[in-house]
């Protein structure tokens, strides 16, 4: 894994090394003298260590000396044979370690994001399970409500039938009550007629019987 990362980092660095600012690097020699001119006769301005970044400016015609610029702003001449177009092994290792640290930081960030996403996924799964249980509960409650509604409908239909039957019975009771009233009236009239007839018969008998008794007495006298 580390070898692959190192290879990728070196490849990336090889691409980025061809930037707009062309650079040169001090070779693996311990120190390199920077002189005020292209030759050993010129004054030494500074000595730079191996791996120091130098900005390339120009070269002599024989390419034995190269004019460079240091990060401090000092400009001077160094021997071209001690310069490299690419970073030396030490510099490459430093850059590789920097890139490796960067990649590790990015990897750590990705791992943290992945952990957060895993946690969120777990929470969503838990929420989904809770929703599933709630759905089953609601479905059960809905089934119960439907059953109660069905029973309520049946009861309503039964109540409607009973109400209709009660109304029919009330009508029948009213009719029987009316018939009974008529029968009572007829019975009273019958009694009145019979009573009146009996009175008339009594009166007639009261008139006839004395007459019959008187006639018999007269007949006896005649005899």
Q: Which domains does the chain have, with CATH numbers?
A: 2-108 (2.30.30.40)
> Phi/psi at 54 (nearest 5 deg)?
-130, 135
Question: 215 falls in which pLDDT band (50, 70, 90)?
Answer: low
Q: What is the pLDDT averaged over residues 205-220?
A: 64
pLDDT for position 165 = 83
Look at residues 84, 70, 78, 81 and name the one whose alpha carbon lies nearest to residue 44. 78
212 CB contacts (<8 Å, ≥6 apart)?
A: none
CA-to-CA distance for 6 and 82, rounded, in angstroms?
26
Residue 46's beta-bridge partner residues?
34
What is the model's pLDDT at position 35?
94
For the beta carbon of residue 54, count every other beta carbon within 10 angstroms.
21
**Residue 165 or residue 43, greater confidence:** 43
Strand order in the sheet with 83-84: 44-49, 31-35, 75-79, 65-69, 53-59, 23-26, 83-84
DSSP 71: T
- What gap in Å lies between CA 103 and CA 21, rounded to an integer? 25
Is 167 a residue whose pLDDT tops 50? yes
- Residue 89: Cβ within 10 Å count: 11
| pLDDT of amino acid 44 | 93
Which of 104, 91, 82 has its CA nearest to residue 51? 91
Exposed, middle or buried: residue 90 (CB in 10 Å: 0-12, 13-18, 19+)? middle
The confidence band for 223, taking pLDDT boundaries of 50, 70 and 90, is: very low
Indicate left, alpha or beta for 118 from its phi (over 0: left) and psi (-120 to 50: alpha): alpha
SS3 label, residue 17? coil
In angstroms, the CA 144 to CA 58 distance is 93
Of 220 and 42, more confident: 42
Model confidence at 155, pLDDT cuts 50, 70, 90, reads: confident
Q: Tokens for 102, please give them.
A: 């960067």
Position 48 pLDDT exceeds 60? yes
């Amino acid at each position: 894994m580390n070898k692959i990362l190192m290879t990728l980092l070196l490849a990336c660095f090889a691409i980025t090394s061809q930037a707009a600012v062309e650079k040169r690097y001090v070779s693996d020699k311990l120190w390199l003298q920077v002189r005020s001119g292209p030759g050993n006769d010129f004054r030494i301005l500074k000595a730079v260590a191996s791996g120091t970044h130098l900005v390339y400016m120009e070269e002599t015609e024989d390419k034995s000396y190269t004019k460079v610029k240091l990060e401090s702003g000092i400009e001077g001449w160094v021997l071209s044979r001690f310069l490299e177009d690419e970073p030396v092994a030490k510099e490459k290792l430093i850059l590789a370690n920097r890139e490796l640290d960067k990649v590790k930081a990015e990897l750590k960030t990705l791992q943290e994001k992945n952990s957060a996403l895993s946690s969120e996924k777990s929470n969503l799964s838990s929420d989904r399970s809770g929703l599933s249980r709630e759905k089953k509960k609601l479905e059960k409650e809905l089934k119960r409500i439907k059953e109660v509604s069905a029973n309520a409908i049946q009861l309503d239909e039964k109540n409607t039938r009973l109400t209709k039957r009660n109304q029919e019975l009330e009508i029948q009771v009213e009719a029987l009550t009316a018939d009974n009233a008529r029968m009572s009236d007829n019975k009273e009239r019958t009694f009145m007629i019979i009573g009146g007839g009996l009175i008339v018969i009594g009166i007639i008998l009261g008139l006839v019987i004395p007459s019959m008794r008187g006639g018999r007495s007269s007949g006896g006298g005649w005899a």
